Amino acid sequence: MPYTLVQHSAVSTGHSTFLRGVETMSVTDKKLIAQIEKLGGVLIADYKEAHEREFAENYPPGHDGLAPRVNGKFARISISGQLLYIPAKQEVTSG
C-alpha cells in the first residue's frame, strides 16, 4: 500500500503551529493514486521511508525551529479532510 504526505491533521483542530506541517497517510484508491501522481504529490511504498520523508519535509536543512515548516505547497484536493502536499522542486546542482 502506498503512502503520501498531507497537511498535518492538527490544522483541522485550529492548531496554527502545524499549518506548514505534513504527516503520512496511506492511499488505497487507484483513482486517487493517479490524481496524486498527476498533481506532483509523493507516493512512497514503504511506511518507514514515508515517515522519514515526512520528517525531512517538516524540518528541511536550515530550519532549526520546533514547528514544522515545509518548503512545498498544498494542493486544493483533500484526502480524508487533509490537503495533499506537493513537495518543492529540488534544484539539481552539478559538481
Q: Is residue 95 part of a domain?
A: no
* Measured distance CA(81)–CA(6) in Å, rounded: 9
How many domains does the chain fold into?
Answer: 1
What confidence tens digit (pLDDT) does each residue in 27-76 have?
Answer: 999 999 999 999 999 999 999 999 999 999 999 999 988 999 999 999 98
Residues 6 or more apart whose Cβ sits within 8 Å of residue 12: 81, 82
Q: Is residue 92 part of a domain?
A: no
Beta bridge partners of 78: 83
Q: Is residue 7 part of a domain?
A: yes
Q: Is residue 91 part of a domain?
A: no
Q: Is residue 70 part of a domain?
A: yes
What confidence tens digit (pLDDT) does each residue in 8-36 have?
Answer: 999 988 888 999 999 999 999 999 999 99
Q: Is residue 94 part of a domain?
A: no
* Measured distance CA(25)–CA(47) in Å, rounded: 9
Q: Is residue 93 part of a domain?
A: no
pTM, entire model = 0.89
Give me the domain span that covers residue 82: 3-86
User: What is the reported pLDDT for 54?
Assistant: 97
Q: Is residue 28 part of a domain?
A: yes
